[in-house]
Amino acid sequence: MSIGIRPIPTPDGRTAEHVVLLDGRGFPTGTTAKATAHSATTPFHLAFSCYLVRADGSVLLTRRAPTKTTWPGAWTNGCCGHPQMGETLREAVTRRVAEELGLQITHAVVAVPDFVYRAAMSDGTIEHELCPVVVAEVVGEPCPNAAEVDDLAWISWEELQARVASDPQSLSPWSVEQVRELSERARHPLELLTASGSPNGRGLMDARVLVDSGWGQASDRSSTGPTRGGALAAVQGPLRELLEQFLDRQASEMEAIDPRLGEVVAEVRALVDAGGKRLRPAFVWWGHRATGGPEDPAVVQPAAAVELLHTFALLHDDVMDRSATRRGRPSAYASFAAGHRQAARLGDPDWFGCSAAILAGDLTYVWADELFDGTAMAPAAVARARVVFTTLRSEVIAGQYLDLVLAADSQADEEGARRVALLKSARYTVTRPLLLGAALGTAVDAERVAPALTRYGDAVGMAFQMRDDILGLFGDASITGKSTLDDLREGKRTLLMLRALRMANPLERSYLLAHLGDPELTPNEADNVRSIVASTGALASVEILLRAEYGTAVEAVDDLPGPARAALIEMADLAIQRRT
C-alpha cells in the first residue's frame, strides 16, 4: 500500500534525485535530497550495491569520482545507488548502471537482501543504509560518467577476494563486507545467477519501494485450495477432540496411581488448552496432502503427537528461559511454585516448580511417543514417519542446547545464530512436520515432494524464528502472552541481537553488552535496548530477510497440488506475519 510520499521537485519543475528515508523496520517515512543527505547525522535510508559480472567471470571494479560526498576516490563494486520513490529495485539498478557506466543488464538477482551497514569517514560523514546487494550480468564495455566514476578495471573474483583479505583499506568499507558475504553464498557471483531455483530475495527485484510487497498476495493463486483460515481449520477441530480424549485417559491413569499426580496432568492440559495456532500439526496434515493423496483422518494422530512434543518443549523452554508466563497464563514452573506456597509445603517453592515442570515435560514427551505409536496407517508408512519423528526430536533438543551455549558465548556470531534457528525452529516447526506428513504417503510420493517441502520448510521456519525473535523484543505482551523482558534477561544471542551488536557504535554496543543477560533489567533499560536495535538498522535488515524467505517459500511449492500449495502459502503468511 502506498503511504502517499512524493519525490522532491526542483525549482525548474524537474524531479531532484533523492533518498528514501526508512523507519526502524525498514518502511519508508519520507524523502530527502540526495545532495544533502550525507553528513555526520546521516539518516537511515534505502540504497543498493550492484556487482557487475561478465560471462567470462570477470567482475567490474570502479573508482569513485573525487567529487563524491562519501569515500571519494575509493575503489568499490561496479555500481551503487538509491532507489527513487515508487521505483522497483530492478528499475533503480537498471537506471543507475546506465547512468554511471552506460551498460545494459541482461539479468540480475538480489544476492544479499538484508545487507545493512553504517560506516564513518575520517571527517565524520556517515553512511547508514539498508543496502540490498545485487549481482547482474552485463555485456559490452562501460562508458563511465566522469561525475561518478574516475577509473575502472575488470578483474577476476579471486583477485577481488584476495584484495579484500590483504588490503581492505584500499576498498570502500561496504564492498569489503559485501565481498565476504557473497563469498559465503557461492564460489563466484555467477553461480547466484545461474543456479537452479532462485536465491533468497530474487523477487525483491520487482518490489516497489512504496509498496508493502503484499504478504499473502500469492495465496490467491489457486482457486482450488482452502479459504483463508482453512489451512489450520482442516486439522484444529479433530486435533482438539483427539487430545481431549487422550488427556482424559492419561488423567484417569495417573490419578489411579496417586491423586496428587492430577496436578501434573492439569498443568499439561492447561498448556495444551491455551492453544497456539497448531501450526506444526497443520504442517503434518498438509505435508501428507502435498503427496497428492486424499484426506485421511488417521493423519491427525501423528499430528497430535507432534503437538504434544511441542508442549514438552515449551514446558522445558520456560524453565530454561525463566519465563513466568506462557500463552497469557502463568508458566508451568511458576504455577507449580505457587501451588507449593499455597499448600505450605517444605523446601524452596521455586526449585520445586522448576523440578515439577521438568518432570511434566518428560511425561509429555512419553505421551507424544504413545500417541505416535497408535497411528492407524500402513506399517511401512508409519515406520518412515517414525524416522522423521526421531530426527525432529533430536534436532530440537540439539538446538535448545546450542541456544544455551550461544547465550553464554561472548564470541557468538550470526552463523551460530542461524544454526540454532535452523535446528530449534525451522526444522522443528516446519520442515520435519512437513516431511513427516509426506512420509505417511507412499515412499515414491514422499521422495518426489521432499526437495520442495524442505526448501519451503527451511525458508518459512527460519522466518518463523526471526519473527519470534522480533516479537520477543518488540511484541505486545498482551497479545503474545509472554514478557518482552525475558529474552533480554536471558541474554539470548539471536540473529537480530547479534546484528545490532555488529552495527552499533562503541557507546551503543557497550550499553547492549551491559544489559543483555541482566536478570534485573528494568523496563526502561529494555526500551533503550529496543531503541538501539531499531536505530542501527538491525530490525529493518531482519524484516527484509523475512520478506526474502517468504518469496523463497512461495516459489518452492509452485509445482505442488493446488490445495496443498494454497494451504502452504497461507500458512507461510500466518507464520511470518503473526503477532503472537
List active site positions: 38, 45, 80, 82, 100, 117, 127, 129, 174
Q: Would you call 46 exposed, middle or buried from its count of C-beta atoms within 10 A (0-12, 13-18, 19+)?
A: buried
Nearest Cα to Cα of residue 508 among 485, 481, 487, 535: 535
Distance CA 438, CA 568 (A): 13
In which element (H, E) is residue 330 found? strand 329-330
In which element (H, E) is residue 106 found? strand 104-112
N-term to C-term CA, the chain: 23
Q: Is 86 helix (H, G, I), strand (E, B) or coil?
A: coil
Record the cell numbers describing residue 115, joined without a space: 545487507
Record the cell numbers describing residue 501, joined without a space: 551488536
Decide the pairing of beta strands 325-326 and 75-76.
unpaired
Distance CA 267, CA 361 (A): 10
Residue 58 near residue 48 (C-beta atoms within 8 A):
no
Strands ordered across the beta sheet of 28-33: 28-33, 18-22, 45-46, 126-130, 116-120
Residue 567 near residue 229 (C-beta atoms within 8 A):
no
Question: Which residue blocks in 504-577 are alpha helix, DSSP H?
Answer: 506-515, 523-535, 538-556, 562-577
- Residue tagged 520442515 (cell numbers): 431
Nearest Cα to Cα of residue 454 among 294, 573, 574, 568: 568
Residue 464 neighbours by CB under 8 Å, 6+ apart: 279, 425, 426, 429, 430, 575, 576
